Amino acid sequence: MPTYEYECQKCGHLFEQFQKITDKPVQRCPKCRGKVKRLLGSGAGIIFKGSGFYQTDYRSESYRKAAKAESGEQKSDKPAEKTTAKKAGADNKS
């Protein structure tokens, strides 16, 4: 449910009202009972967390641990292949 902001036309009181989208707008100020105007809101709150703005930043802790372990295994295999390739190239130069 969104939070709507209102401003009283009579006393200038600013207040927020947490209500359903289908609810009718507030008509009267809670302080002086004057007419109120609904202000344009900033929209829904957005939570930014993680190193970037990707779906994977919101994964569970167990998923991240498994992914890290998997990527760690792949990284350890790759340098060995590169080292072998370098040695093979060095042997060909001799």
| pLDDT per position as a tens digit, 40-76 | 866 666 666 666 666 655 667 888 788 888 887 654 4
Distance of CA 17 to the CA centre of its chain: 24
Distance (Å, whole) CA 92 – CA 59: 47
Side chain identity at residue 72, one-letter code: G
Mean pLDDT over all residues of the chain?
75
List Cβ neighbours of 42 (8 Å cut-off, separation of 6 or more): none
Of residues 86 and 20, more confidently modeled: 20
Per-residue pLDDT at 65? 86
Higher pLDDT: 46 or 4? It is 4
What pLDDT sits at residue 32? 96
Q: Tell me: pLDDT of 21 over 50.
A: yes
**pLDDT score of 12:** 94
The rounded distance, in Å, linking the Cα atoms of 35 and 26 is 9
How far lies 94's CA from each of 25, 41, 82, 86, 89, in Å?
85, 73, 19, 13, 9
